[in-house]
Amino acid sequence: MLRQLMIGKKIEQRKSALAELLEQERGLDLRSANLEAALEEANTEEEISTVEGEVTTIENERSELTAKKTTLEGEIAALEGELEQLNSAAPSNTTRSNTNQSNQNERGAEGMNKLQVRELLKTGEYYKRSEVVEFYEKFKNLRAVSGGELTIPEVVVNRIMDIMGDFTTLYPLVDKIQVKGTTRILIDSDTSAATWIEQSAALPTGDVGTITNVDFDGFKVGKVTFVDNYLLQDSIINLDAYVTKKIARAIAKALDLAIIKGTGSANKQPGGVIPAIPAGNKVNVDEDADLLKNLVKQIGLIDTGDDSVGEIVAVMKRSTYYNRLVGYSIQVDSSGNIVGKLPNLTNPDLVGLRVVFNNNMDADKVLFGDFSQYTLVERENITIDTSTHVKFTEDQTAFRGKGRFDGKPVKAGAFALVTIVPAV
C-alpha cells in the first residue's frame, strides 16, 4: 500500500508539472499570434530583425517545452504502468485509497488518458480506431433495437470527460476517482506535527493518525437529446462531435450544480460544498468602503497556517464580480485618468486570487475554497439508449446518455462562504 501511495504522489506531481508546461505552451501560441500581427505591420529592416529575434526565441522555448513534455509523459506512463501492476497484484478486497486511484483518474480500460485522446484527434486516428467505428455503427442502428442500451467505449468516454471542461468551471478543479461498486475511502484527518524521538525508539501510538471513513454511493444522472435522423447517416466525425458535446454539456451542468449545492443521498445526488460548510465558515461582510479588505480577510478561515492547502479559488456569479468587485481593479486619479491596472476579464482575479465564475452561485455570495478537498466518484461506464417515439413525426431520434456519480467534500473546513450584505 505504501508503495502505491508513493507512486500515486509521484504521478500527481508530474501531472501538475505537465499542466504547467501546457499552460506555457498556450502562452507561446499567443505570443506567436502576436508576432504574426507584428510581422505584417513591420516596415523597416530593424522592425523585421526584432521580430525575427523573437521568432528564434519562441522556437527555442517551444523545442525545450516539447522535450520536457515528452519526458514527463514518458515518466507518467511508466509510473502508471507500475502502479497498475501493483494494483492488479493486490488482493481484490483491499480498501481503495484516494491517492491510490490517481492513475485511474483520467485513464480508460486501454490505459489511454485524455491527453492521448487529444493527440489521436489531431492526427485523425481517433476516428479510425476499431472501438470508435464499432460504437458509432451500433449507435446508428441502436434505434432499430427495442430496449437496447449501448455502453460507450472508454476512449469515447475520455473524450466526453475532456469536453466537459468546456462547459463546466468546477469539474476540472475537484479530485476525481473512477471506481466500480460501493466505495469507502480511508482518509487520515490528523494534521498534527510529527514527534522527535531517539532513532531506536518506537513511535508514540498517538501519532498513527486519525482514520476517517468516507462512503460514496452512485447516483444516476441522465439527459435526453434529439438527433436528426439525417445526421445519423453522416460521417463518424459529425456524429461524434454532436453526440459527445451534447452528453458532455448535459452532465457537466448537472455536476456543477451538484458540486455547489447538492443535497446528498436524501435526494439521490452528490453532496454539495455549500450545505457542508461549517457554521463558523459562513460569514457576512458589509457593502461599504472596506468591502474588498473585509472580503479577502475571510480566506484566513481556510488558510489558517496549521496545515498546507492547495490552490484556493473564489467562486461567484459574473454579476457579483462585475457589480461588487471589478471596480477595485481600476484605479483613477483626480482627473479621471487610469493610473492602475485594468481588470483582466479573460482571467479575472481578486487581489491575485483566481476567480471562477459559476452561474449556480447566488448573487452577492463568494465561495472561497480548495476544491481538491472535494472528491467526485465517477462510477462505471456512461451508457446510451434510444427511443424513436417522442419526435417520430419530426424525423428525430431521442438518445439518452446516462452516468453514475457521487461526490462530497472530504474536508468541509476547506471552504468558506461569504455573503455581501447592505451596510447598515
Provide, rounded to the nearest whole percent, the portion of the chain with pLDDT above 90. Answer: 14
Examine the pLDDT at 308 and tell me if it is beyond 90.
no
Mean pLDDT: which of 72-81, 232-241, 265-274, 384-393 is highest? 265-274
* Predicted pLDDT of residue 29: 77
Cα dihedral sign, 79-84-89-95: positive
> Among 123-127, 173-177, 402-406, where is mean pLDDT lowest?
402-406
**Model confidence band, residue 108 (pLDDT cutoffs 50, 70, 90):** very low
Query: 70-79, 145-154, 268-277: which range is least confident on average?
Result: 145-154
At CA 151, angle to CA 145 and CA 155, rounded to 5?
Answer: 135
Secondary structure (3-state) at 158: helix
SS3 readout for 309-345: CCCCEEEECHHHHHHHHHHHHCCECCCCCECCCCCCC
Contact present, 179 and 105 (Cβ < 8 Å) = no
pLDDT for residue 92: 40
Domain boundaries, the chain: 1-94, 273-375+411-422
Question: What Å distances lie between residue 383 and 137, 139, 206, 252, CA to CA?
Answer: 15, 11, 47, 16
The pLDDT of 239-256, averaged and rounded, is: 81
**From CA 56, how far away is CA 424, in angstroms rounded?**
60
pLDDT-derived band at 285, boundaries 50, 70, 90:
very high
Q: How far is residue 12 CA from its own chain's centroid?
A: 14
Residue carrying C-alpha cell 488518458: 113
Asked if residue 399 has pLDDT above 70, the reply is: no
Considering the segment(s) 273-375+411-422 as one domain, its CATH architecture is 2-Layer Sandwich (3.30)
Indicate yes or no: pTM above 0.75. no
Q: Quick check: 113 pLDDT over 70?
A: no
Confidence of residue 326 (pLDDT cuts 50, 70, 90): confident
Alpha-carbon torsion (94, 95, 96, 100), positive or negative: negative
Lowest mean pLDDT among 87-91, 96-100, 367-371: 96-100
When the pLDDT of each residue in the chain is averaged and rounded to a whole number, the result is: 74
Q: Which of 211, 4, 193, 207 has the alpha carbon at shortest distance from 87?
A: 4
The band of 229, judged by pLDDT with boundaries at 50, 70 and 90, is: low
Rounded to whole angstroms, the Cα distance separating 221 from 406 reads 10
Among the ranges given (69-83, 166-180, 324-338), the one the predictor scored with the smallest mean pLDDT: 324-338
pLDDT score of 208 more than 70: no
State the burial class of residue 160 (Cβ atoms within 10 Å of its Cβ: 0-12, 13-18, 19+).
buried
393 φ, ψ (degrees, to nearest 5): -70, -20
> Any alpha helices (H) in 127-208, and if so which ranges?
130-141, 154-164
Task: For residue 280, name the pLDDT band (cuts at 50, 70, 90).
Answer: very high
Quickly state the pLDDT bin for 123 (edges 50, 70, 90).
confident
Cell triple for 78: 511508466
Task: Compute the Cα dihedral for 89, 93, 95, 97 and give only its sign.
Answer: positive
Query: Helix crossing, 2-41 with 45-89: angle to 10°?
Result: 160
Name which of 387, 127, 395 is nearest 244 in CA terms.
127
Locus of grid cell 469507502 = 184
Residues 6+ apart with CB under 8 A from 158: 106, 107, 108, 112, 113, 114, 117
